[in-house]
Structure 1
Amino acid sequence: MAVAAILGIASVITALYFSSNVGTNRFVPNACTNVDSLLSDRIVGQDAAISSLVSAVCEHIRERPGGDPVRPLVISVHGPPGTGKTYTHTLLARAMYNRDPSKALSCPGPGCTGVKVLYGMSYIESEQETQLEMVRRAVMEHIRSTPDPILVIEEYDKLDCKSRAMLRQLVRHHELIDEDKGRMIIFLESNLGFMELVNLVTTERGNKSRITQETTDRILRQVSLDSWLAASCESLEDTVAFATTIHQYLAFLPLTRQDMAVLVGKELAHNYARRVAALGAELTWDPTVVQWLLNKGDYDQNNFPLDGAAQVASLCVRYVARHFRMYEIEQRNKLTANGIQVHKARVQSLERLRLSVAPGGGELQLRAGKGG
């Protein structure tokens, strides 16, 4: 009887484990659907790149009669800072390793141990051999111990020749590490070619829909090849062979003011609206708020935002956050003073908050009213 009870408990624990949303190092069954929905919702202004990435990933991991792919999927991502490159590989990992990506808050990290991110692989001469050997061993161990690995190499265009050689061997001959890792995804991130992409968007007056993937792919392939040849790290044949292992060159184009407006709206909805919702209130904002915030941003001569999407959170912290912090303090003080009566009143009459530009246009204001 005791044995049966123990077995029953064990089966329940096992069922809970395998049905949970906790991160894993295997691609989840709904990974393709996750990638499509999550990246399409969160990444702004990069529709063509995201569409291509989703298609490539879904095709790579699909079940096929002949078994797994024979070699890893290699994606090279290019663009100016702040256009979503790093955020994309973060969301990709959450989507690939978690049934419910919204709960994978510690990813990269415990929420998705299958992804390994390498940053800054150029070392001073005296430490180069030792450091590269440590990196090589760490990468090999990660690939061998992970059923479905994702490897991210940031700023790969800045690698020195010896680091490049290690990467080239990994991409071209992964079977030397583990022949069963054809489902691996290698994500190369770079700012290389970003001026060419800026010029493209400028020429089209910000209309990204007029820029084809064929155009950006051709430009980025050539820019990358020219850069590698100029470094003279290997023979022409080896350089060309490495270039052919990259399946796609994805262009993350400069963000426009229209893209920034969408991002501001998402920041207000995902951050501030949720904060007041936890206190039983509903938030709306005037359209003029978005433009007011955008006018506080910094832009280059082409009217592209400096630092891209990173400005959005900074602008909201500077001009929006204090109003909500004051509201939260006020609500906590009321709750402390009046106890449950405040909670009952809130339930009976939803408080509606409106964020708007104050008279005179010098600042924002948050006003409360009662709803039904």
Structure 2
Amino acid sequence: MKSEKILVLFVLLPIVTVETGVFDFFSGIFDNDKLRPFNSTDFEKDLRMSLYGQNIALNTILKAVTWLMKDPDPPKPLVLSLHGPTGVGKTYITKIIAQLKAWIYGNVSSFPRSIFIFDEMDKMNPHLIETIKPFLDYMLHVDRVSFNHAIFLFLSQAGANMINEVALDSWRKGKERDQMNTQRMETLLYQGIFNDKNSGFWHSSLIDEHLVDHFVPFLPLERKHLKQCVLAEMTSLNITHDYDVMDSVLKDMPFFPPEEEAFSLKGCKTLHNKLGLHMKL
């Protein structure tokens, strides 16, 4: 198969927060803005190195993106909606792009394999969400530009409570995370956000007309996943792994529910600064 090239592009929305996550999925493929050929093996390796406890999301994203890249003539862009609580592997962006449509047109004209990441979709104005519908639909061209090879990623905390409840129920029953019913969870996700009046997706035609290909749940993280996050943070800082420090950091992190402490309340978010409090300077 002839190799393809992709360009990752971020659509920046009003909420100004920063978190590591989705960008890390592509960090091995894109280096310093230099385009490199897509390689599914490298892509899978990056996913597994960057995500902890998210095999459901990992497998969905891996298969969906690889399938698109192997399809010489896809009928529509790939649209993935990523849902979950804070600190579990999504990413937040810091600024807003004013000229949304013009910006998309220009980049897809140059790079048909572009990736657009929309952050905090649950807080986005529903009317603004509807303006991107033509780019996601089953259309050959929008103003003579084809978007069918592009990838659109929507990031959202909508549905996080439902995801937490399902994960907690599964945990109490002693089930492994990978044993969770992904079809049921995806159904609950899109039904929940579609009927949530406080969500930007409320009665959205993007859902009603089935333009979102996959609703991907990101599960709350367990203590063992936070250990992986702490050790990875130590590695990134060139610090020798110190398991006593790791245990101290975990004791400083909040978990829920209080009586069981099954999952991290903040995911891996704030671990970097927590680590600094427990390191010997």
> TM-score, structure 2 length as denominator?
0.76
Distance 1:23 1:217, change over 3 A: same
Please tell me whether residue 44 in structure 1 is matched to residue 52 in structure 2: yes
SS of the equivalent of 1:253 reads coil
Distance 1:198 1:72, change over 3 A: same
Pick the aligned partner of 2:266 from 275, 299, 307. Answer: 307
Cα distance in 2 for residues equivalent to 1:262 and 1:187: 26
Please list, as runs of the form range in 1=range in 2, the aligned pairs for 1:113-262 lying within 5 A after superposition: 131=98, 134-172=99-137, 173=139, 175-205=141-171, 207-227=176-196, 238=205, 240-242=207-209, 244-262=210-228
Question: 1:149-169: per-residue Cα shift (whole Å, max 9, x none)?
Answer: 111111112222320220222
User: Is the CA contact 1:72–1:183 (under 8 Å) kept in the aligned structure 2?
Assistant: yes
Cα distance in 1 for residues equivalent to 2:163 and 2:201: 25
Distance 1:68 1:289, change over 3 A: same
Question: 1:25-45: per-residue Cα shift (whole Å, max 9, x none)?
Answer: 5xx334322210001111111
Please list, as runs of the form range in 1=range in 2, the aligned pairs for 1:1-372 lying within 5 A after superposition: 23-24=33-34, 28-62=36-70, 64=71, 67-86=72-91, 131=98, 134-172=99-137, 173=139, 175-205=141-171, 207-227=176-196, 238=205, 240-242=207-209, 244-273=210-239, 283-285=240-242, 287-302=243-258, 303=261, 304-320=263-279, 322-323=280-281
Question: 1:88-133: per-residue Cα shift (whole Å, max 9, x none)?
Answer: xxxxxxxxxxxxxxxxxxxxxxxxxxxxx79668xxxxxxxxx5xx
Amino acid aligned to 1:68: D
**Aligned-CA RMSD value:** 2.9
SS of the equivalent of 1:176 reads coil
Query: Offset of 1:296 from its aligned partner?
Result: 1.6
Greater RCO structure (CA 8 Å; 6+ sep): 2
SS of the equivalent of 1:150 reads strand
Distance 1:120 1:211, change over 3 A: farther
User: Is the CA contact 1:255–1:308 (under 8 Å) kept in the aligned structure 2?
Assistant: yes
Cα distance in 2 for residues equivalent to 1:43 and 1:267: 13
Cα distance in 1 for residues equivalent to 2:184 and 2:85: 17
Query: Offset of 1:141 from its aligned partner?
Result: 1.9
User: Is the CA contact 1:118–1:153 (under 8 Å) kept in the aligned structure 2?
Assistant: no
Cα distance in 1 for residues equivalent to 2:184 and 2:126: 29
Query: Offset of 1:59 from its aligned partner?
Result: 0.8
Larger radius of gyration: 1
Query: Offset of 1:256 from its aligned partner?
Result: 1.2
Cα distance in 1 for residues equivalent to 2:94 and 2:241: 41
Cα distance in 2 for residues equivalent to 1:229 and 1:80: 16
Q: Unpaired runs of 5+ in structure 1?
A: 1-19, 88-116, 122-130, 274-282, 324-372
Distance 1:136 1:181, change over 3 A: closer
Question: 1:260-305: per-residue Cα shift (whole Å, max 9, x none)?
Answer: 11111222233233xxxxxxxxx353x4432222012223435332
Distance 1:233 1:50, change over 3 A: closer
Amino acid aligned to 2:142: L
Query: Offset of 1:24 from its aligned partner?
Result: 3.6
Cα distance in 2 for residues equivalent to 1:22 and 1:231: 33
Amino acid aligned to 1:290: M
Q: How many residues align?
A: 245
Higher-helix-fraction structure? 1
Distance 1:119 1:226, change over 3 A: farther
User: Is the CA contact 1:143–1:177 (under 8 Å) kept in the aligned structure 2?
Assistant: no
Cα distance in 1 for residues equivalent to 2:129 and 2:146: 24
Query: Offset of 1:177 from its aligned partner?
Result: 4.0
Question: 1:35-94: per-residue Cα shift (whole Å, max 9, x none)?
Answer: 1000111111111111110011011101x5xx331211000000001111118xxxxxxx
Amino acid aligned to 2:234: L
Query: Offset of 1:22 from its aligned partner?
Result: 5.5
Identity %: 18
User: Is the CA contact 2:108–2:145 (under 8 Å) kept in the aligned structure 1?
Assistant: no
> TM-score, structure 1 length as denominator?
0.59
Cα distance in 2 for residues equivalent to 1:195 and 1:21: 35
